[in-house]
Structure 1
Amino acid sequence: MNRVLLFLLFFFQALSSFGQFTIKGKVTDAETGDPIPFAAVLLKGTSIGQNTDFEGNYEIKTASLSDSIQASYLGFLTQAKPLGQALDQTINFQLRPSDFELEAFVFEAGENPAFEIIRKTVNRKKDFDKRSLDAYETKNYTKIEIDIDHLSESFTNRRTVRGVTSVLDSIRQLTNDEGEKILPVFFSETLSKFYYRNNPILKKEIVEKSKVTGVGITDGSTTSQITGSAFQEYNFYKNWLTILEKEFVSPIADGWKAFYDYDLLDSVLVGNDSCYHLKVYPRRAQDLAFEGFIWINKENYALKQVDLTIPQSVNLNFIERIKIQQELTRTSAGPLIPSKTRVQVKIGQITPKTAGLLAKFYTASDSIQVGSAKPTAFFNNAIELKADFGDADEAFWAANRADPLSSEELSVLQMVDTLKKIPIIRFYSEGLKFLGTGFLPIGKIDIGPWTEFGNFNNVEGLRGGLGLRTNYKFSQKWAFQGYLAYGFVDQRFKYSASAKHILDRTRWTTLELRSSRELDQVGLEMESLEGNSIFLAASRFGTLRRPFMSTNQRLTFQREFFKGFLLSAGVNVAQFDPLFDFFYLEKGSREVRSRFETTEVRAGLRYGRDEIIIVNDNERASFGSSRWPIFEINYTKGLQWLGGDLDYHKLNFYLYQKLNMGLFGISRYELDAGKVFGEVPYPILKNHLGNETFFYTTAAFNTMNFNEFASEQFISLRYRHFFEGFLLNRIPLIKKLKWRAVANANVLFGSVSDQNIENVPGIDPAGSPIETFGRLDPNKPYVELGYGIENIFKFFRVDFIHRMTYLDVPDANPFVVKVSAQIIL
C-alpha cells in the first residue's frame, strides 16, 4: 500500500511538472542597456508574475498561460509581448523611459502615512549602519565602462571622426534610445578584498586581479588603484553622500522632512522580506537631493534596496543624470552592507558640437565577514596591488565574475580594443594627456613639461627650454628628471636635475638629490610651487618683481612610518644673487652686502589621518581627506659653520581641512603660522604673496600688492565657503540660472623685530635710496572679506573683495573685482 501511495505521488508530481511552463528573460533600459531591477513582470490578465532581481532577470513558472506577458516599472513605458505554447520560453524586454509623473496622493486627515515609516527607519539607523561594526571585510567585483555619448551629426561628420567610425563599421554598433551611436573608450574589471575597522576608522583595499583596457591607458598599475571598490562606496545611512565632490542629502537623513516628500506606493515582497515601497522626491527641485524609490523592511525598518536618481533640475553642470541602484544584505551582527551597487553618470555636451560621456559603475560584494579588526599597521596603504594583479586569463574571469558579461559588454571590449589601435585615436588621446600632465611619453622617457618650452619676461627676454624625465618603464626604483632653459636677453642658462631612489614602495621611502639654477622672485617661493607647472610658467611671464638667481643643491629623505604619517629630512645649500637693488647689513661687522649663501638642515612631519594616497608611477598622489584635517610641521636650521653666511631657525605650521556643512554647503580653511629666529635679510622672512592681477586666486591675498608686507612671525587664516545652491536656489528667477554664492575671508597677523628692521639700509653704497619691505602692526591684522557668484554661464566666477585694514598704505586697494574661469559640476 505504501508503494502504491509513493507511486501515485511520484506520478502526479511528474504530471504537474510535465504541464508546467517556464518563462524567463531580462528587462533592460532601452537607452543604456543596463538592467532594470525590481520591475514587475506579469502574465497579462492574471496575477501570476514576479519582480526582476538586481540584474534585471526574472523566471516565472506556471501551469497555464495567457496570450501575452508584460513588463512595467515606474518611470518607463509598459511593454507587452506575445507568448507561444512552448514549455520553456525566453522573452527579454527593453523598456523606454517615459515622462511619467506620479499623481499626488490626497489624505483626508492626519499626516502622510509614509512619514511614520521614514521616522521609524531614521530612529533605527544605528542598528543597521555598517559604520557601527567594529570590523568587516568583503570580496568585491567591480566593473567600469565609459562611453562617448551624444555623437551628434555635426560631430560624426568631422573628417577625423569619420575615419574612426568607418573602421568600426565591421563591429556591432551600440546605440542609445535616439538611435545615435556610442563609442566605448574604457572598460575595466577588478577583483579585490576590502577591509574596514572602527576606532579609528581605517579602510584598505587589496586589488587581487585587474583587467583594464582603454583609449590612452598605458599604465595598468596606476589605473587599477582607482577602478576598485574603494571609490565606489555609497552609504545611504549617512546623512550626506559625497558624489562627484558634491554633498547630497540621503532620503533617510536625520533632517529628512526639510528636504524630502514621500508617497507610500504599495507593500511588496522583496526576496523573502515584506517591504514598504515608497517614492521619494525633493521638496525643492534645485536642492542636491534624490528622487526615485526605496524599499523598507516592514518588520525591522531596515533599508532593503534603493533605486534613486539625481534629477536634471538639480544645481549641477553638464550632468544629465546620476542614477544609483543598490541592494543591501544583513550581516550576522545586524548592520547592512551593500551586496550590489550600480551607478550611472551621464554627462551632456558642453557645446552642441561636442560629444557627451556615459560612465557606468557596478560593484558586487560577497564573502562578507564580520569579526575582529586588523592591526593599525595593516592599513598603512589605503590601496595595495598584489604582485600578480594583472596576470589572469579569461577562464579566471569567467569563474570569478559576479555575473557573466552581457553581449553588449562583449561588444564594448571588442570596440575598445579596436579603437586603441586606430592611429588618429592614439594621436588625440596622447595629445590630451600631454596637455593635462605636461609630459609626452616616448618609450621609457617623458618629454616635458610643455610649460618649459617657451616664455617671455623683462629679465630673460625670450626664454626657450626642454625637459626630460624617466618613467616607470625605465625603472620602479630610480627616477631621473631635468630641464635646460636659456634666456636670449640675459644670456644665461637655467637648469634643474634630480635623481630619486625609491627604497620602499610599501612604506613610501625615497632618497632624492637635486641641483638647480633658476630665476626666482622674492615672495613667490618657487620651491613650494613645484607641483604647479602652469603657475610657475605664468610667474615667469611679463614683468618680474624683485627677481634673483637662485642656485640650490638639495638632498632629501622621506619615509611614511604609518598610515598618513610622513617624515622628511634633508640638507639644502643655496645662493641668493639679486637682480634688483637689494642690500643688507651683515650681522656683527655691519658691512653692506647684496648677496648671501645659506646652508640649511631641514626636517618635517606631515599627517593626514584618513587621506587616500595612491602611487602614480614613481610619485605619490593624494585624493584628499574626507573628514580629518591634514597638517604639516616644518623646521629649518640655517648653519654658518657648514659654509652658510647666516645663522637662524625657521618653524612653520600648516593645517588644511574641508568641512561638509550639509545644507549650508562646503567650507575649506587653511591655517598657516611661522616664525624666524635670528637676524636675517628680508628674503629669508615670510614675504606674503599679493595679487595685482585681474584674476582671483586662492594662493594670495587678493587686495594686497606684490611684496607689500613681510613678517618675521605670522599667523594667517584663509577661509572659503561655497554655498552651492543654499541661498540662490530659493530666489524664483535666479535659481533657473543655477548661480551659486561664494564667500571668503583672509586674516593675517604678522610682525618684524627691530633687529631685522635695522639690518636693511635706507640707501645703497652709492647713496641712492633703495626699496625696502612693508611691515605689519602686531596689534592690527590685515583683513580682506569677499563675496561673489560662481557658475555664471557654467564657467565664470566673479569675486568682490574689500580690504578692511591698512587702507592708509600708499597704493592700497580698498576694493577690487576679480574674475576667474573654472570647470565645475
Structure 2
Amino acid sequence: MRLRTIIFILILIANPIKVHADNVTVTGVVRDSLTHEPIPFATVLLKGTDRGTLTDDNGKYTITTALRWDSIQAASMGYDTKQLPAKKGNKIIIDFDLHSSGVLLNTVIAKPKKEHYTKKNNPAVAFMERIRATQDIGDPRRKPDYNYDKYERITLAINNYQFNDSAKRGFDKKFSFIKEYIDTSALTGEPILNVALREKASEVNYRNTPQSEKEYVKGLRQSGMDDFLDQESMKTFYEDVMREVDVYNNDINILQNRFVSPLSRIAPDFYKFYLTDTVPVDSVECVELTFVPRNSASFGFTGRFYVPVGDSTMFIKRIVMHVPHNINLNFINNMLISQDYEQMPDGTRLKTKDDMIIEASIIPGMPEMYARRNTVYTGHNFDRLTDQSIFDRGQSQVYAQGVYDRDSIFWKENRTTRIAHGENSMENMIKRMRSVPLYYWGEKALKTFTSGYITTGNPSKFDIGPLTSTFSTNTIEGFRLRAGGMTTAALSPRWFARGYVARGFRDHKWKYSGEVEYSFRDKRQHSREFPVHSLRFTQLYDMDMLGQNFTLNNQDNMFMSAKRMEDIQMTYHRVSKLEYTLEMENNFTIKAKLESERQEPTRYM
C-alpha cells in the first residue's frame, strides 16, 4: 500500500522527454554499472551528427561540436549500448553506467532442444560440492571476534521514467525541473526517477563465544517521499524485504519468501549445474559455474559462481544471481543479486560488496518501481572489543546518540561508494516539488490519509486527530462528535500531552480524556515509539464497551459504527491513572500503575 502511494504521487508527471542543444563541449566518463570501474576505449557518439570519440584509459571522453544533436550514445564490447538525452548548456557533463551483457545475462545457459542432464559423475556437481565442503574454512565467523564497517544505501525510484520537456504550459511545465534529477538504472540503463533514499553507516561486531552479533548504527539518513509514510512500515520494507543474502545458508529468506540456496544440502537435486567458461574477474582468472533450477517455476535462482582457477579452498570471488521469470513472486518482474568477495592469506573470505536490484509492478498499468540496496563492507578486522557491553544489549541494532543528525561531512567521510546525482539531490528535488501548490497540497492530503492526523507547521508541534474518530454513532450516544490531538517531539522530546473532548447528541453528555507523559528517553516524533520508558498520568471520562478490547483502533472509530445489532453493553467510565512503563530492547516489558476506576450505569446497564 505504501509503495502504491509513492507511485500515485508521480504518475501524473510521466511523459516523454526530448531536449536538444548546440555549440557545446560534452565531457564525462563511461563506467561499469555495478563495479563503477572505468571502461577504456568505449565508443561515444553524438546522435544526429558525425561526431564521436573513444574513451581514454580512465574511461573519460570529450566531444566539442557546433552541430545540433538530440542524444548521446555509448557502446563497448561486452556491454549493452546506452543512449541518453541531450542537455542544455555550453559545457555539459554526461556520465554513462553501462550494463554488462557478458556476465549478467538473463538467459544463463544455451542447451540442446533435448537435454540429457544427470548429476551422477557430473564434474559441475562435484565442483559445487567441493565449494560446499570447504565453506567453513573461509567463514570469518569461525574466529573468536569479527568486526567490519558497513555502508548501506537503499533507493526507491520510478523505473523507465519519461518526462515531456516539450510542454510550454500546464502540469508538465510546472515540473520541468524534474529532468535535472533523472538517473539511470544499473540493471537496464533505462531512466529512473528516485523518490526515496535511506543511507546507513554502521559498525558490525561479532563474538563467537557466547555467540552474539550487534550492529552499531552511527548514522541514519532518510530523504524523499517516504518521510510522510508510516516509518515502521518503511523500516520493515527496508530491513526485511531488502535483507542481505547469504548463499552459504540452506535457505534464503528474501522478499518474504523462502528460496533454496544453490549451496544448499539439496542443491544437486534442486538445481542443474554447468561448468560454462573461464573468465577474468578483477584481473583474476576464474572458473564460471552456472546453475539453474530444474523446475523454472520453483523458488530458486539462476546465476553463476566465479572461483579462481586452481584455488584449493574453493573461494567464491563473485556471485551473480537472478530470479526466474516464471515464478509468481509478489509483483516482482526482475531481480539481480551481485556480491564480491576478497580472500585473506589464511583463506578467510571477506564480503566487500553486496548489490540487490528489484523491478516490480505494484499497480497494473502504472510504471514499474525500481529498488536498489547497495552495500559496501570495509575495515575488516578480528580484534576483540575493549568494551564488551554492546553484546549485552537486547536489540540487534544499537543506535548512537544523534544518529539522525549527521551532517554532510559525516556522510562524505562514511559514504564508501559513489552516489548518483539524483540520489544525492533528492532533498533539493522534493523541496522544489513542494514549492508547487498542486504537489504540496496533494502530499498534505496523502499524509493525512495515511497517518490519520493533520499536522500543523513544519515541523509539526501538535497533530490534530485521529480523523477516523471525528464522528461516529452508538446506541447510547447516538451521533457523536470528537475533537482532539497530541503534541510531538518537535515541541519537547520528553514531555508529551494528548487528549480529546467528545459529545453525544442523544445522551447530551460531554466526554473527555487528558494525558500528560514524561519520557525518560528522547523521542523522534511521538511518545509511543518503541522502546517506551515513561511515567504517564491519565484522566478520562467516556463510554466503555464492556467485554471488548480495542488494541488497533479506538472504540469510536467511524468505520466501526455500522453493526448488525445494537450494542447496549455500555457504561460511563471514569478513570484516574498513574502508570510507569519500561520496555526493554529485548521486548520484555515491565508496568506498574495506580488506578482509580468507576463504572456508572446507562439506561441499559
Equivalent position to 2:279, from 258, 268, 271? 268
Does 2:194 align with 1:184? yes
Equivalent position to 1:304, from 317, 339, 353? 317
1:319-359 deviation per Cα after TM superposition (whole angstroms, max 9, x unaligned):
2222211112346875534211111122214131x343212
1:608-654 deviation per Cα after TM superposition (whole angstroms, max 9, x unaligned):
xxxxxxxxxxxxxxxxxxxxxxxxxxxxxxxxxxxxxxxxxxxxxxx
Q: 1:512, 1:449 → 2: CA distance? A: 20
Q: 2:293, 2:138 → 1: CA distance? A: 24
- 1:561–1:210 distance in 2 versus 1, CA, 3 Å: closer
Structure 1 contact 174–181 (Cα < 8 Å) conserved: yes
Q: 1:313, 1:160 → 2: CA distance? A: 42
Structure 2 contact 223–426 (Cα < 8 Å) conserved: no
The equivalent of 1:556 in structure 2 is 579
Q: How is 1:324-723 mapped onto 2 (pairs within 5 angstroms)? A: 324-330=337-343, 335-352=348-365, 354-372=366-384, 374-375=388-389, 378-389=392-403, 394-407=408-421, 409-410=423-424, 414-442=428-456, 443-504=460-521, 508-526=532-550, 529=551, 531-533=552-554, 537-542=558-563, 543-545=565-567, 546-560=569-583, 563-577=586-600, 579=602
Q: 2:292, 2:57 → 1: CA distance? A: 28
Larger radius of gyration: 1
Structure 2 contact 75–82 (Cα < 8 Å) conserved: no
1:535-571 deviation per Cα after TM superposition (whole angstroms, max 9, x unaligned):
9554444345333333332222122456443322223
Structure 1 contact 188–227 (Cα < 8 Å) conserved: no
- Report the AA paired with residue 326 of structure 2: S
The equivalent of 2:258 in structure 1 is 247
- Point out the more displaced range, 537-546 or 132-141: 537-546
Deviation at 1:290, TM superposition (A): 1.8
Q: 2:428, 2:604 → 1: CA distance? A: 66
Q: How is 1:191-230 mapped onto 2 (pairs within 5 angstroms)? A: 191-198=201-208, 201-215=211-225, 217=227
- Point out the more displaced range, 439-448 or 573-582: 573-582
1:136-171 deviation per Cα after TM superposition (whole angstroms, max 9, x unaligned):
2211222222212355899x99x99636533435x2
Q: 1:258, 1:329 → 2: CA distance? A: 30
Equivalent position to 2:178, from 156, 159, 168? 168
- Point out the more displaced range, 375-384 or 258-267: 375-384
Structure 2 contact 544–573 (Cα < 8 Å) conserved: yes
Q: How is 1:2-151 mapped onto 2 (pairs within 5 angstroms)? A: 26-28=30-32, 34-35=33-34, 70-72=76-78, 93=98, 100=107, 102-104=109-111, 111-149=121-159
1:116-138 deviation per Cα after TM superposition (whole angstroms, max 9, x unaligned):
12222222333344554543221
TM-score (norm 2): 0.72
- 1:221–1:69 distance in 2 versus 1, CA, 3 Å: closer
Q: 2:471, 2:426 → 1: CA distance? A: 42
- 1:413–1:490 distance in 2 versus 1, CA, 3 Å: closer
- 1:91–1:355 distance in 2 versus 1, CA, 3 Å: closer
- 1:69–1:344 distance in 2 versus 1, CA, 3 Å: closer
- Report the AA paired with residue 554 of structure 1: K
Deviation at 1:501, TM superposition (A): 0.9
- 1:104–1:572 distance in 2 versus 1, CA, 3 Å: farther
- 1:372–1:406 distance in 2 versus 1, CA, 3 Å: same
Q: 1:426, 1:240 → 2: CA distance? A: 45
Q: 1:390, 1:220 → 2: CA distance? A: 17
- 1:340–1:568 distance in 2 versus 1, CA, 3 Å: same
The structure in which a higher percent of residues are strand is 1
Q: 1:160, 1:463 → 2: CA distance? A: 44
SS in 2 for 1:72: coil
1:180-235 deviation per Cα after TM superposition (whole angstroms, max 9, x unaligned):
86432223433222223345554433332344321362799999988998974322
Does 2:319 align with 1:319? no
Structure 1 contact 206–385 (Cα < 8 Å) conserved: yes
Q: 2:225, 2:257 → 1: CA distance? A: 28
- Report the AA paired with residue 473 of structure 2: F
- Report the AA paired with residue 558 of structure 1: T
Structure 2 contact 39–57 (Cα < 8 Å) conserved: no
Does 2:246 align with 1:235? yes
Structure 1 contact 190–211 (Cα < 8 Å) conserved: yes
SS in 1 for 2:129: helix
Deviation at 1:518, TM superposition (A): 3.2
SS in 1 for 2:317: strand
Q: 2:174, 2:290 → 1: CA distance? A: 44
Superposition RMSD in Å? 4.4
Q: 2:212, 2:561 → 1: CA distance? A: 43
Q: 1:328, 1:417 → 2: CA distance? A: 39
Deviation at 1:252, TM superposition (A): 1.1
Does 2:301 align with 1:290? yes
- 1:69–1:77 distance in 2 versus 1, CA, 3 Å: closer
Q: 2:398, 2:361 → 1: CA distance? A: 34
- 1:292–1:571 distance in 2 versus 1, CA, 3 Å: same
- Report the AA paired with residue 246 of structure 1: N
Q: 2:518, 2:596 → 1: CA distance? A: 20
1:22-58 deviation per Cα after TM superposition (whole angstroms, max 9, x unaligned):
xx96444xxxxx43689999999xxxxxxxxxxxx99
Deviation at 1:445, TM superposition (A): 0.6
Does 2:328 align with 1:279? no
- Report the AA paired with residue 294 of structure 1: F
Structure 2 contact 535–580 (Cα < 8 Å) conserved: yes
Structure 2 contact 106–322 (Cα < 8 Å) conserved: no
1:33-87 deviation per Cα after TM superposition (whole angstroms, max 9, x unaligned):
x43689999999xxxxxxxxxxxx9979xxxxxxx994326xx6799xxxxxxxx
Q: 1:461, 1:288 → 2: CA distance? A: 54
- Report the AA paired with residue 515 of structure 2: S
Identity %: 21
- Report the AA paired with residue 193 of structure 2: L
- 1:214–1:278 distance in 2 versus 1, CA, 3 Å: same
TM-score (norm 1): 0.54
Structure 1 contact 128–336 (Cα < 8 Å) conserved: yes
Q: How is 1:718-729 mapped onto 2 (pairs within 5 angstroms)? A: none
Structure 2 contact 273–289 (Cα < 8 Å) conserved: yes
- 1:308–1:455 distance in 2 versus 1, CA, 3 Å: same
Q: 1:208, 1:361 → 2: CA distance? A: 18
1:369-427 deviation per Cα after TM superposition (whole angstroms, max 9, x unaligned):
22436346553444344334455554554444213334554565653443344333333
Q: 2:218, 2:230 → 1: CA distance? A: 13
SS in 1 for 2:381: strand
Q: 1:179, 1:270 → 2: CA distance? A: 22
Any unmatched runs of 5+ in structure 2? 1-27, 44-55, 60-73, 84-94, 524-530
